[in-house]
Structure 1
Amino acid sequence: MSHVVVTAVGTDRPGIVAGVTRVFVDMGCNLEDSSMTILGGQFAMMLVVDAPEGVDAAALEAALAGPAADLDLLVAVRPAEAAGADNGPLDDNRPLDDNPPLDDTAPLDDTASWTVSVYGADHPGIVHGIAELLSAERINICDLGTRVIGDPARPVYAMVMGVSLPRGADPDALAVRLGEVAARLGVDASLHNSDADIL
Protein backbone atom coordinates (compact mmCIF):
# COMPACT_ATOMS: atom_id res chain seq x y z
CA MET A 1 0.00 0.00 0.00
CA SER A 2 1.18 3.54 -0.70
CA HIS A 3 -0.12 6.94 0.30
CA VAL A 4 -1.17 9.41 -2.37
CA VAL A 5 -2.29 13.04 -2.01
CA VAL A 6 -5.25 14.14 -4.13
CA THR A 7 -6.32 17.77 -4.45
CA ALA A 8 -9.35 19.01 -6.35
CA VAL A 9 -10.89 22.45 -6.84
CA GLY A 10 -14.00 23.50 -8.72
CA THR A 11 -17.24 25.44 -8.60
CA ASP A 12 -19.33 24.17 -5.71
CA ARG A 13 -22.15 21.76 -6.59
CA PRO A 14 -23.71 18.61 -5.14
CA GLY A 15 -22.07 15.35 -6.18
CA ILE A 16 -18.38 16.30 -6.16
CA VAL A 17 -17.45 14.13 -3.18
CA ALA A 18 -19.52 11.21 -4.47
CA GLY A 19 -17.94 11.45 -7.92
CA VAL A 20 -14.36 11.55 -6.67
CA THR A 21 -14.74 8.87 -4.02
CA ARG A 22 -16.45 6.53 -6.52
CA VAL A 23 -13.05 6.24 -8.21
CA PHE A 24 -11.41 5.36 -4.89
CA VAL A 25 -13.92 2.57 -4.29
CA ASP A 26 -13.50 1.20 -7.82
CA MET A 27 -9.70 1.14 -7.49
CA GLY A 28 -9.61 -0.32 -3.97
CA CYS A 29 -8.25 2.85 -2.37
CA ASN A 30 -8.98 3.81 1.23
CA LEU A 31 -9.56 7.49 2.03
CA GLU A 32 -7.71 8.11 5.29
CA ASP A 33 -7.47 11.85 5.96
CA SER A 34 -9.32 14.67 4.28
CA SER A 35 -10.18 18.33 4.46
CA MET A 36 -12.88 19.90 2.31
CA THR A 37 -14.37 23.37 2.38
CA ILE A 38 -16.06 26.10 0.34
CA LEU A 39 -14.49 29.53 -0.19
CA GLY A 40 -16.04 32.14 -2.43
CA GLY A 41 -18.26 29.59 -4.14
CA GLN A 42 -15.32 27.28 -4.91
CA PHE A 43 -15.18 23.78 -3.41
CA ALA A 44 -11.69 22.61 -2.46
CA MET A 45 -10.60 19.25 -1.13
CA MET A 46 -7.31 17.71 -0.06
CA LEU A 47 -7.28 13.96 0.51
CA VAL A 48 -4.73 11.41 1.68
CA VAL A 49 -5.52 8.06 0.07
CA ASP A 50 -4.04 4.64 0.84
CA ALA A 51 -3.70 3.00 -2.59
CA PRO A 52 -3.25 -0.76 -3.11
CA GLU A 53 -0.25 -2.30 -4.83
CA GLY A 54 -0.30 -1.54 -8.53
CA VAL A 55 -2.17 1.75 -8.16
CA ASP A 56 0.18 4.72 -8.26
CA ALA A 57 -0.42 8.46 -8.48
CA ALA A 58 -0.44 8.44 -12.28
CA ALA A 59 -3.01 5.63 -12.45
CA LEU A 60 -5.25 7.34 -9.92
CA GLU A 61 -5.01 10.68 -11.71
CA ALA A 62 -5.93 8.99 -15.00
CA ALA A 63 -8.95 7.34 -13.37
CA LEU A 64 -10.06 10.68 -11.93
CA ALA A 65 -9.94 12.38 -15.34
CA GLY A 66 -13.51 11.36 -16.19
CA PRO A 67 -15.18 12.68 -13.02
CA ALA A 68 -12.94 15.76 -13.16
CA ALA A 69 -14.23 16.56 -16.65
CA ASP A 70 -17.85 15.82 -15.74
CA LEU A 71 -17.69 17.99 -12.61
CA ASP A 72 -15.38 20.68 -14.06
CA LEU A 73 -12.68 20.04 -11.44
CA LEU A 74 -8.99 20.81 -11.47
CA VAL A 75 -7.43 17.63 -10.01
CA ALA A 76 -3.82 16.92 -9.05
CA VAL A 77 -2.43 13.65 -7.67
CA ARG A 78 1.03 13.02 -6.27
CA PRO A 79 2.80 10.53 -3.97
CA ALA A 80 2.44 11.63 -0.37
CA GLU A 81 6.17 11.62 0.29
CA ALA A 82 6.68 14.14 -2.50
CA ALA A 83 4.14 16.62 -1.23
CA GLY A 84 5.87 19.83 -0.23
CA ALA A 85 9.34 18.40 -0.86
CA ASP A 86 10.31 21.23 -3.21
CA ASN A 87 8.65 24.00 -1.27
CA GLY A 88 10.73 26.39 0.77
CA PRO A 89 9.94 27.26 4.38
CA LEU A 90 6.96 29.45 5.07
CA ASP A 91 7.71 33.00 6.10
CA ASP A 92 5.77 33.26 9.34
CA ASN A 93 7.10 36.78 9.88
CA ARG A 94 5.48 38.25 6.78
CA PRO A 95 3.15 41.22 7.39
CA LEU A 96 -0.51 40.40 7.81
CA ASP A 97 -1.30 42.72 4.90
CA ASP A 98 0.45 40.26 2.57
CA ASN A 99 -2.33 37.73 3.10
CA PRO A 100 -5.11 38.10 0.49
CA PRO A 101 -8.56 38.84 1.95
CA LEU A 102 -11.16 36.10 1.97
CA ASP A 103 -14.13 36.55 -0.33
CA ASP A 104 -17.04 36.96 2.07
CA THR A 105 -19.38 38.48 -0.51
CA ALA A 106 -20.78 35.20 -1.89
CA PRO A 107 -24.57 35.05 -1.41
CA LEU A 108 -25.97 32.64 1.13
CA ASP A 109 -28.29 29.93 -0.19
CA ASP A 110 -31.73 29.35 1.28
CA THR A 111 -30.56 26.28 3.17
CA ALA A 112 -30.21 24.97 6.72
CA SER A 113 -26.88 23.85 8.16
CA TRP A 114 -26.69 20.34 9.58
CA THR A 115 -23.91 18.00 10.67
CA VAL A 116 -23.44 14.36 9.69
CA SER A 117 -21.18 12.38 12.04
CA VAL A 118 -19.92 8.91 11.16
CA TYR A 119 -17.83 6.49 13.24
CA GLY A 120 -16.88 2.88 12.64
CA ALA A 121 -14.25 0.34 11.70
CA ASP A 122 -12.01 1.72 8.96
CA HIS A 123 -12.51 0.28 5.47
CA PRO A 124 -12.75 1.60 1.90
CA GLY A 125 -16.02 3.12 0.74
CA ILE A 126 -17.30 4.92 3.84
CA VAL A 127 -17.02 8.46 2.49
CA HIS A 128 -18.38 7.47 -0.90
CA GLY A 129 -21.36 5.63 0.55
CA ILE A 130 -22.47 8.63 2.60
CA ALA A 131 -21.63 11.16 -0.12
CA GLU A 132 -23.56 9.17 -2.71
CA LEU A 133 -26.69 9.28 -0.54
CA LEU A 134 -26.36 13.03 -0.04
CA SER A 135 -25.79 13.59 -3.75
CA ALA A 136 -28.92 11.58 -4.59
CA GLU A 137 -30.88 13.76 -2.18
CA ARG A 138 -29.39 16.95 -3.73
CA ILE A 139 -27.78 17.83 -0.41
CA ASN A 140 -24.58 19.83 -0.64
CA ILE A 141 -21.48 18.95 1.39
CA CYS A 142 -19.98 22.24 2.59
CA ASP A 143 -17.21 20.95 4.83
CA LEU A 144 -15.76 17.52 5.53
CA GLY A 145 -13.08 16.17 7.82
CA THR A 146 -11.92 12.60 8.43
CA ARG A 147 -9.48 10.95 10.79
CA VAL A 148 -8.33 7.41 11.49
CA ILE A 149 -8.10 7.07 15.27
CA GLY A 150 -7.62 4.44 17.96
CA ASP A 151 -5.46 1.32 18.09
CA PRO A 152 -3.57 0.74 14.81
CA ALA A 153 -4.58 -2.92 15.05
CA ARG A 154 -8.27 -1.93 15.15
CA PRO A 155 -8.50 1.54 13.59
CA VAL A 156 -11.68 3.57 13.91
CA TYR A 157 -12.73 5.90 11.10
CA ALA A 158 -14.23 9.22 12.20
CA MET A 159 -15.90 11.60 9.77
CA VAL A 160 -17.77 14.86 10.27
CA MET A 161 -19.59 16.52 7.37
CA GLY A 162 -21.15 19.96 7.32
CA VAL A 163 -24.12 19.80 4.93
CA SER A 164 -26.76 22.20 3.66
CA LEU A 165 -30.32 20.92 3.54
CA PRO A 166 -32.40 22.65 0.86
CA ARG A 167 -35.80 24.16 1.52
CA GLY A 168 -38.40 21.43 1.96
CA ALA A 169 -35.93 18.71 2.95
CA ASP A 170 -37.13 16.41 5.73
CA PRO A 171 -34.31 15.89 8.28
CA ASP A 172 -36.12 12.99 9.95
CA ALA A 173 -36.51 11.13 6.66
CA LEU A 174 -32.88 11.84 5.79
CA ALA A 175 -31.77 10.50 9.18
CA VAL A 176 -33.62 7.24 8.47
CA ARG A 177 -31.98 6.86 5.06
CA LEU A 178 -28.62 7.78 6.57
CA GLY A 179 -29.05 5.03 9.15
CA GLU A 180 -29.85 2.50 6.42
CA VAL A 181 -26.71 3.39 4.45
CA ALA A 182 -24.60 3.40 7.61
CA ALA A 183 -25.86 -0.08 8.51
CA ARG A 184 -24.82 -1.38 5.09
CA LEU A 185 -21.40 0.21 5.59
CA GLY A 186 -21.05 -1.21 9.11
CA VAL A 187 -20.71 2.21 10.77
CA ASP A 188 -22.73 4.45 13.07
CA ALA A 189 -24.06 7.72 11.64
CA SER A 190 -26.08 10.60 13.03
CA LEU A 191 -27.60 13.82 11.71
CA HIS A 192 -28.16 16.87 13.85
CA ASN A 193 -28.60 20.62 13.57
CA SER A 194 -25.43 22.07 14.99
CA ASP A 195 -23.07 24.99 14.52
CA ALA A 196 -19.90 22.88 14.42
CA ASP A 197 -18.33 19.54 15.18
CA ILE A 198 -14.60 19.16 15.68
CA LEU A 199 -12.74 15.92 15.06
Structure 2
Amino acid sequence: MTRQQQKTYLVISALGEDRPGIVSQLSKLILDQGCNIEDSRMTVLGGEFAAMLLVEGKWNMLAKIENALPEIERQLGLTIVCKRTGERASGHNLLPYAVDVVAMDHPGIINQLASFFAERDINIEDLSTTTYAAAHTGTPMFAVHMTVGIPADIHIAALREDFMDYCDALNLDAVLEPVKG
Protein backbone atom coordinates (compact mmCIF):
# COMPACT_ATOMS: atom_id res chain seq x y z
CA MET A 1 0.00 0.00 0.00
CA THR A 2 1.15 3.50 -0.66
CA ARG A 3 1.21 6.07 2.12
CA GLN A 4 -2.10 7.58 0.94
CA GLN A 5 -3.83 4.19 0.93
CA GLN A 6 -2.71 3.18 4.41
CA LYS A 7 -5.45 3.37 6.97
CA THR A 8 -4.94 5.67 9.92
CA TYR A 9 -6.21 4.79 13.36
CA LEU A 10 -6.81 6.26 16.76
CA VAL A 11 -7.06 4.05 19.84
CA ILE A 12 -9.35 5.59 22.43
CA SER A 13 -9.54 4.33 26.00
CA ALA A 14 -12.34 5.65 28.22
CA LEU A 15 -13.11 4.98 31.87
CA GLY A 16 -15.74 6.46 34.16
CA GLU A 17 -18.77 5.88 36.31
CA ASP A 18 -21.29 3.76 34.41
CA ARG A 19 -24.55 5.27 33.24
CA PRO A 20 -26.81 4.99 30.19
CA GLY A 21 -25.84 6.98 27.09
CA ILE A 22 -22.05 6.85 27.21
CA VAL A 23 -21.73 4.55 24.18
CA SER A 24 -24.27 6.63 22.26
CA GLN A 25 -22.38 9.88 22.87
CA LEU A 26 -18.92 8.44 22.13
CA SER A 27 -20.10 6.75 18.93
CA LYS A 28 -21.91 9.94 17.80
CA LEU A 29 -18.72 11.98 18.18
CA ILE A 30 -16.88 9.47 16.01
CA LEU A 31 -19.64 9.26 13.39
CA ASP A 32 -20.03 13.07 13.25
CA GLN A 33 -16.34 13.35 12.29
CA GLY A 34 -16.74 10.89 9.41
CA CYS A 35 -14.83 8.14 11.18
CA ASN A 36 -15.65 4.52 11.90
CA ILE A 37 -15.29 2.28 14.94
CA GLU A 38 -13.44 -0.70 13.46
CA ASP A 39 -12.94 -2.71 16.64
CA SER A 40 -13.98 -2.21 20.26
CA ARG A 41 -14.30 -3.70 23.70
CA MET A 42 -16.74 -2.16 26.15
CA THR A 43 -17.80 -3.46 29.53
CA VAL A 44 -18.78 -2.52 33.04
CA LEU A 45 -16.22 -3.44 35.70
CA GLY A 46 -17.57 -2.92 39.20
CA GLY A 47 -19.45 0.35 38.84
CA GLU A 48 -17.16 1.70 36.13
CA PHE A 49 -17.71 1.76 32.38
CA ALA A 50 -14.57 0.86 30.44
CA ALA A 51 -14.09 1.08 26.68
CA MET A 52 -11.32 0.61 24.17
CA LEU A 53 -12.08 1.70 20.63
CA LEU A 54 -10.08 1.39 17.42
CA VAL A 55 -11.28 4.28 15.27
CA GLU A 56 -10.41 4.47 11.57
CA GLY A 57 -10.49 7.63 9.53
CA LYS A 58 -8.54 10.21 7.58
CA TRP A 59 -5.75 11.79 9.63
CA ASN A 60 -7.46 15.20 9.72
CA MET A 61 -10.78 13.69 10.87
CA LEU A 62 -8.97 11.80 13.62
CA ALA A 63 -7.38 15.11 14.66
CA LYS A 64 -10.87 16.60 15.05
CA ILE A 65 -11.79 13.72 17.37
CA GLU A 66 -8.58 14.24 19.36
CA ASN A 67 -9.40 17.94 19.72
CA ALA A 68 -12.98 17.19 20.85
CA LEU A 69 -12.02 14.59 23.48
CA PRO A 70 -11.28 17.00 26.36
CA GLU A 71 -14.80 18.44 26.09
CA ILE A 72 -16.35 14.95 25.80
CA GLU A 73 -14.27 13.87 28.78
CA ARG A 74 -15.71 16.78 30.80
CA GLN A 75 -19.31 16.28 29.59
CA LEU A 76 -19.36 12.53 30.25
CA GLY A 77 -17.24 12.52 33.40
CA LEU A 78 -14.77 10.11 31.82
CA THR A 79 -11.02 9.76 31.82
CA ILE A 80 -10.06 9.44 28.15
CA VAL A 81 -6.67 8.60 26.69
CA CYS A 82 -6.00 8.33 22.97
CA LYS A 83 -3.07 7.34 20.82
CA ARG A 84 -2.47 7.22 17.07
CA THR A 85 -1.58 3.84 15.65
CA GLY A 86 -1.09 2.16 12.31
CA GLU A 87 -2.33 -1.03 10.75
CA ARG A 88 -1.56 -4.21 12.63
CA ALA A 89 1.25 -6.26 11.16
CA SER A 90 -0.15 -9.41 9.62
CA GLY A 91 0.44 -12.55 11.64
CA HIS A 92 0.67 -14.86 8.64
CA ASN A 93 3.05 -17.12 10.59
CA LEU A 94 0.69 -17.28 13.57
CA LEU A 95 -2.06 -19.79 14.15
CA PRO A 96 -4.98 -18.46 16.22
CA TYR A 97 -5.88 -20.73 19.13
CA ALA A 98 -8.57 -20.34 21.78
CA VAL A 99 -7.73 -21.04 25.40
CA ASP A 100 -10.48 -21.61 27.95
CA VAL A 101 -9.70 -22.19 31.60
CA VAL A 102 -12.02 -22.68 34.58
CA ALA A 103 -10.92 -23.07 38.19
CA MET A 104 -11.84 -22.29 41.75
CA ASP A 105 -11.04 -18.61 42.11
CA HIS A 106 -7.68 -17.75 43.65
CA PRO A 107 -5.00 -15.11 43.07
CA GLY A 108 -2.39 -15.67 40.37
CA ILE A 109 -4.29 -17.58 37.68
CA ILE A 110 -3.80 -14.91 34.99
CA ASN A 111 -0.12 -14.52 35.86
CA GLN A 112 0.45 -18.27 35.68
CA LEU A 113 -1.26 -18.58 32.28
CA ALA A 114 0.49 -15.47 30.91
CA SER A 115 3.86 -16.79 32.08
CA PHE A 116 3.30 -20.14 30.37
CA PHE A 117 2.71 -18.47 27.01
CA ALA A 118 5.35 -15.73 27.43
CA GLU A 119 8.04 -18.34 28.15
CA ARG A 120 7.23 -19.88 24.75
CA ASP A 121 7.12 -16.54 22.91
CA ILE A 122 3.37 -16.92 22.29
CA ASN A 123 1.43 -13.67 22.19
CA ILE A 124 -1.88 -13.27 24.03
CA GLU A 125 -4.02 -11.34 21.55
CA ASP A 126 -7.30 -11.17 23.48
CA LEU A 127 -8.20 -12.03 27.06
CA SER A 128 -11.35 -11.83 29.14
CA THR A 129 -12.16 -13.16 32.58
CA THR A 130 -15.16 -13.50 34.80
CA THR A 131 -16.01 -14.76 38.26
CA TYR A 132 -19.19 -16.55 39.21
CA ALA A 133 -20.63 -18.82 41.89
CA ALA A 134 -20.65 -22.53 41.06
CA ALA A 135 -24.08 -24.12 40.74
CA HIS A 136 -25.29 -25.98 43.85
CA THR A 137 -22.21 -25.23 46.02
CA GLY A 138 -21.78 -21.48 45.51
CA THR A 139 -17.99 -21.95 45.33
CA PRO A 140 -16.30 -18.86 43.82
CA MET A 141 -15.18 -19.80 40.30
CA PHE A 142 -12.95 -18.04 37.80
CA ALA A 143 -13.16 -18.40 34.00
CA VAL A 144 -10.64 -17.18 31.45
CA HIS A 145 -11.06 -17.01 27.69
CA MET A 146 -8.15 -15.92 25.55
CA THR A 147 -6.96 -16.01 21.99
CA VAL A 148 -3.27 -16.65 21.43
CA GLY A 149 -1.15 -16.45 18.27
CA ILE A 150 0.96 -19.60 18.09
CA PRO A 151 3.97 -19.44 15.76
CA ALA A 152 3.53 -21.95 12.92
CA ASP A 153 6.86 -23.61 13.71
CA ILE A 154 5.72 -24.74 17.18
CA HIS A 155 4.65 -28.38 17.41
CA ILE A 156 1.01 -28.01 18.47
CA ALA A 157 0.54 -31.49 19.94
CA ALA A 158 3.59 -31.05 22.20
CA LEU A 159 2.46 -27.56 23.21
CA ARG A 160 -1.03 -28.82 24.02
CA GLU A 161 0.38 -31.67 26.12
CA ASP A 162 2.70 -29.26 28.01
CA PHE A 163 -0.18 -26.86 28.58
CA MET A 164 -2.53 -29.54 29.85
CA ASP A 165 0.14 -30.91 32.20
CA TYR A 166 0.84 -27.38 33.44
CA CYS A 167 -2.85 -26.72 34.07
CA ASP A 168 -3.38 -30.11 35.74
CA ALA A 169 -0.53 -29.35 38.17
CA LEU A 170 -2.28 -26.05 39.04
CA ASN A 171 -5.75 -27.67 39.29
CA LEU A 172 -7.04 -25.69 36.30
CA ASP A 173 -9.52 -27.21 33.84
CA ALA A 174 -8.33 -26.10 30.41
CA VAL A 175 -8.94 -26.40 26.68
CA LEU A 176 -6.56 -25.33 23.90
CA GLU A 177 -8.08 -25.56 20.42
CA PRO A 178 -7.92 -23.85 17.03
CA VAL A 179 -10.14 -20.81 16.63
CA LYS A 180 -13.12 -21.84 14.53
CA GLY A 181 -14.27 -19.68 11.64
Q: TM-score range by the shorter chain?
A: 0.5 to 0.7
Gaps of 5+ in 1: 1-39, 47-82
* Greater than 4 Å deviation, 4+ residue runs: none
Which residue of 1 is the match for residue 120 of structure 2?
A: 137
Change (3 A) 1:105 1:97: farther
Gaps of 5+ in 2: 1-8, 36-54, 58-84
Please state whether the residue corresponding to 2:24 is helix, strand or coil.
coil
Which residue of 1 is the match for residue 98 of structure 2?
A: 115
Which residue of 1 is the match for residue 162 of structure 2?
A: 177
Alpha carbon RMSD of aligned pairs, Å? 3.4
**TM-score, reference length from structure 2:** 0.55
* Separation in structure 1 between the aligned mates of residue 131 and residue 118 of structure 2, nearest angstrom: 24
Deviations 1:9-41 (A, max 9, x none): xxxxxxxxxxxxxxxxxxxxxxxxxxxxxxx7x
The Cα shift of 1:195 comes to 3.5
Please state whether the residue corresponding to 1:176 is helix, strand or coil.
helix
**TM-score, reference length from structure 1:** 0.50
Count the aligned residue pairs: 119
* Separation in structure 2 between the aligned mates of residue 86 and residue 176 of structure 1, nearest angstrom: 42
Match of 2:87, as an amino acid? T
1:5-154 → structure 2 map (5 Å cutoff): 84-85=16-17, 90=22, 92=24, 94=28, 96-98=31-33, 99=35, 100-101=55-56, 105-109=87-91, 110-151=93-134, 153-154=138-139
* Separation in structure 1 between the aligned mates of residue 142 and residue 114 of structure 2, nearest angstrom: 15
Which residue of 1 is the match for residue 174 of structure 2?
A: 189
Structure of higher RCO (CA pairs closer than 8 Å, 6+ residues apart): 1
* Separation in structure 1 between the aligned mates of residue 18 and residue 174 of structure 2, nearest angstrom: 40
* Separation in structure 2 between the aligned mates of residue 45 and residue 136 of structure 1, nearest angstrom: 29
* Separation in structure 2 between the aligned mates of residue 148 and residue 86 of structure 1, nearest angstrom: 20
